[in-house]
Structure 1
């Protein structure tokens, strides 16, 4: 482990070797350990330490949480947040783990079939979007939902929908239908992902 910085300094002129050593101590990583003998989680942690201590302006992480235990995940997330808060650095993280990205990201790009299909600024979208759980007296989908919402889950008469531009007019129309249940739920990145795929399944989930 103590030899790795020698290689990194060949590429990253601003590599911070002292910080690298300090982080090894902080996370109780033995500097005499062989990298290839580390567990998958520990290798991921070392990789992130190397990325941070490279002092690169932009850091790209590919599936940084894949296969890691919860403690290592929390360590990595904390380090990324601290790095963004303390310095002028940008992170681009590719991941299928939407729950982990939810607490890290201020902007999310959704790729499908190698194409960019959505660009979410999370602070903005959460000001206008709502996730609702609804129950109506029958199984008919109201026109207001067909026009303005995206269905992400259905169980019997229980509908869970995302409305990306929720307005007072839409709220008034829904309440005028006298639903048995109208409840707002927390909106997550996974909900936005499911909602974006709604056109693939659509309202075929309900007959």
Structure 2
């Protein structure tokens, strides 16, 4: 289990993450979602001890990660940029990973590479952006980490390769109970594999729920009233946003429950239809409203 307690990190001109508290259970896939500059990459780099926090701590199975080599051997991190190995040949990077990670499995790397077909004699600088993403995903996963941190792993991938990568990831979680935190702007990717979602904005967690709970609670409602809507309807506290289209209303709510349904009916609602929302829509309405 990964526990993040009161974690904060500031730079010269900005408080990047503010008092983050988060628990990630073993074998779960947590999606970290937010706009550019929200603090996602800073949080991931602080979790893996690239950045030293100003306050707070990160523990894996009760042990503090900071300056702890034995714990770091159990962590795999794929950053959104991988410039260090640019001039290296891939076969030499594989040797480096074998030396650096005691659990690195070269056979596993080669098996995954049967899918991705990255030439081992090429230098990283000769690879496309998508192939670089594939390479470092393979290297990180082949280290057999207990905790896997992925920052934009599908960046630059075409839809076919992306689907293959996500399947390999999910299979690894199923087989090894790997704990995963994944950040991505491709929210449909996260929606297809994550069991838990965290929304972050301006360095703070603004929503932390299972994906099932999010989908149950947050809905778009199409509502038609028998006569006129209540005068204050568009300002009900249950709604994040309301649009009026002719006689009907489209209302976004993050508390779609029996209490709200009863309130609508008591106020003359003749027709109510619940529509599921995409993760992208959930993020937009949560942050903007």
Note whether the superposition's TM-score is higher than 0.5. Answer: yes
**Paired residue for 2:170, among 42, 64, 81?**
81
* Number of residue pairs the alignment of both structures matches: 198
Higher alpha-carbon deviation: 84-93 or 25-34: 25-34
Q: Which runs of 5+ in 1 are unaligned?
A: 200-207
What is residue 100 of structure 1 aligned with on the other side? 189
**Paired residue for 1:167, among 247, 250, 257?**
257
- C-alpha deviation, 1:177, in angstroms: 5.0
Work out whether residues 218 and 282 of structure 2, in 8 Å CA contact, stay in contact via their aligned partners in 1.
no
Taking the aligned partners of 2:108 and 2:231, their CA distance within structure 1 comes to 58
- C-alpha deviation, 1:174, in angstroms: 2.4
What is residue 197 of structure 1 aligned with on the other side? 287
What is residue 156 of structure 2 aligned with on the other side? 67
Of structures 1 and 2, the one with the larger relative CO (CA 8 A, separation 6+) is 2
Q: Does 1:143 align with 2:253?
A: no
Q: CA RMSD in A?
A: 2.7
Taking the aligned partners of 2:237 and 2:274, their CA distance within structure 1 comes to 19
Q: Does 1:182 align with 2:272?
A: yes
Cα 1:134/1:21, change in 2 over 3 Å:
same
Cα 1:39/1:159, change in 2 over 3 Å:
farther
Q: Which runs of 5+ in 2 are unaligned?
A: 1-89
Decide which structure has greater strand share: 2
Taking the aligned partners of 1:166 and 1:108, their CA distance within structure 2 comes to 18
